[in-house]
Amino acid sequence: MKPEFQKYVDDNPALKAVAAGRPILWINDRTPWTEDAGCTVTKEMITDAEKRLQRFAPFIARAFPVVPDGIIESPLREISLMREYLAENGAFDEGRLLIKLDSDLPITGSVKARGGIYEVLKHAEDLAVGAGLLSPEDDYSILCEPRFRDFFGKYAVQVGSTGNLGLSIGIMSAKLGFRVTVHMSHDARQWKKDKLRENGVNVIEYMSDYGKAVEEGRKSSAADPMSYFVDDENSIDLFLGYAVAAGRLKRQLDDAGIVIDAAHPLFIYIPCGVGGAPGGICCGIKHIFGDAAHVFFCEPTECCSMLIGLVTGLNDAVCVQDLGLSGRTEADGLACARPSALAGRIVGPMVAGIATVSDESLYPLMKELCGREKLFIEPSSCACFAGLYQKDGLSAYCREKGLEGSMKDAVHIVWATGGGLVPEDERRRYFNM
């Protein structure tokens, strides 16, 4: 541990447990957030993002036959058999258990298909409208025409990634005709690099971690006046793309006849890396459901960057190595040692808490989910069960919020963030772990 951080650990039991590598549930005492408290990201901004994705639907439908209606969305499913397993193994067991399958989002098979694809589309629209080639009233399927590919071919898009963000940015940028470079950290899986190269994406590999890949990407993009950098640590557009998930979830709950209100609280658990995806989703959810929603982030014990950023109040001025953690994790999608300051600032007053999980717990969860529910999600994604395993902490939270009486009518949603595109041999390797 860096000596200057010792005082934070001495003062805080949660950080003490974190520094000792123990899985915990940290409860955020800055909540409850209310609409009146204000937020950098407003409802109107999220609605604007929703409308933009609507405009692009005809393009997506034409460019990606796997998305016939042009809306990239995932199913919501009840997982009662998995719920039984969790209950038998000491997890919190009041209320229904559902899973949001962003692991099956079309095109890139991860939650990054929300934020990543949204940001590329927004950038493409800005350029094409700015050049007088496109108007928001047009049918955007014209973007498939060669003249647009030629136009976007003058421009570059770059991004740093542990894998999944690179897949989303790479595939969508290449489809539009951009020159695209993905800077990959050492965590990134080989198949993701292969898939990108098959799609004509330039992949640069680094021996170092995600922070370095982002830094190099930023530098390389800054050196090219025609290049746009998708900044996972600071991007409001990525954040907005993720936030759109909330309104879609609301419609799915409505369609399933599931009511959310003070007497039927909603608990959501989302795996967290740099914080953008869970942050955006959390922000959208709080705008829609307010106090009835309790959003928990889930992080690996060795790489709980958002937790330490929020607990110390230092945001991106602290990284997990500063507290003596390795930053190494099997959960490649969550291997971000330093949190996003943007996400931390926005969700600091909104997130209910953060649960951490050891790498060893991820594989049994992956296997049980597959055995019982016939669902495959990648190990990173299995972190979504971490919150429910913190039964004592979660019970204490419910008591504190006066929710004990309504927990039998609660709805828990674990957010599966990735896995759909993981190749068969890689899945087999995971099952042998």
Ligand X SMILES: *Cc1c(COP(=O)(O)O)cnc(C)c1O
Binding site for ligand X (CB under 6 A): 110-112, 164, 271-278, 333-334, 336, 378, 380-381, 417-418
With CB atoms as reference, the residue minimizing the distance to ligand X is 273
Tell me how far, at minimum, the Cβ of 395 lies from ligand X, in Å. Answer: 26
Phi/psi class of residue 402: alpha, beta or left (left: φ > 0; alpha: ψ in -120 to 50)?
left
CB 226 within 8 A of CB 200: no
Report the C-alpha gap between 57 and 59 in whole angstroms: 5
The string of DSSP codes covering 228-274 is EEE-TTT-HHHHHHHHTHHHHHHHHHHHTT---BTTB-EEEEEE-SS
Cis preceding linkage at 32, omega within 30 = yes
Task: Say which DSSP state 132 is in.
Answer: T
In the complex, what is the shortest distance from the CB of residue 410 to ligand X, in angstroms, rounded to a whole number? 23
Q: CB burial class (10 A; 0-12, 13-18, 19+) of residue 43?
A: middle
**How many Cβ atoms from other residues are within 10 Å of residue 324's Cβ?**
15
> CB of residue 318 vs ligand X: minimum separation in angstroms?
16
Name which of 221 and 417 has its Cβ closer to ligand X: 417
Q: Which is nearer to ligand X, 58 or 160 (CB)?
A: 160
CB closer to ligand X, 112 vs 179? 112
**Is the distance from CB of 181 to CB of 220 less than 8 angstroms?**
yes
In the bound state with ligand X, the residue whose beta carbon lies nearer, of 164 and 301, is 164
Cβ proximity to ligand X, 31 vs 381, nearer residue: 381
Smallest gap from residue 4 Cβ to ligand X (A): 26
Rg for the chain (alpha carbons), in Å?
21
Nearest approach, Cβ of residue 366 and ligand X (Å): 12
CB 401 to ligand X: min, Å: 25
Nearer to ligand X, 101 or 334 (CB): 334
Q: In this structure, which amino acid lies at residue 235?
A: S
